[in-house]
């Protein structure tokens, strides 16, 4: 004959197994959701990094262009300085020759 104690124990065991199965399913879904969230975050970080790399590449191109332009301007300034120096020297020579009478 079946005892009430055995029936209650069996029912509680079944409830415990069902509860564990439900909890395991929720935990698995939670981990999947966390992984999806992590994956989405990594995708956003990758997009941001790619965008930053592209901006840096454009900045480097501009810096190279500016360096080239600065070098050309420095060469022109040096040439103008030499020309002005020669002109000033000629003026000084001219003034000193005809200087004091």
Give per-residue pLDDT as tens, 50-91: 888 899 999 999 999 999 999 999 999 999 999 999 999 988
Q: What is the mean pLDDT of the chain?
A: 85
Helix (H, G, I), strand (E, B) or coil at 98: coil
pTM value surpassing 0.75 = no
CA distance 93 to 81: 18
CA distance 98 to 101: 8
Using the 8-state DSSP alphabet, how is residue 43 labeled? H
pLDDT band of 101, cuts 50, 70, 90: very low
């Amino acid at each position: 004959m079946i005892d009430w104690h055995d029936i209650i124990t069996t029912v509680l065991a079944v409830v415990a197994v069902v509860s564990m199965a439900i909890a395991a399913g929720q935990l698995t879904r939670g981990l999947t959701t966390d992984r999806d969230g992590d994956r989405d975050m990594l995708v956003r970080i990758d997009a941001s990094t790619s965008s930053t790399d592209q901006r840096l590449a454009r900045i480097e191109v501009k810096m190279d262009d500016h360096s080239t332009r600065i070098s050309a301007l420095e060469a022109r300034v040096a040439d103008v300085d030499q020309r002005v120096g020669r002109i000033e020297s000629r003026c000084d020579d001219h003034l000193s020759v005809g200087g004091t009478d």
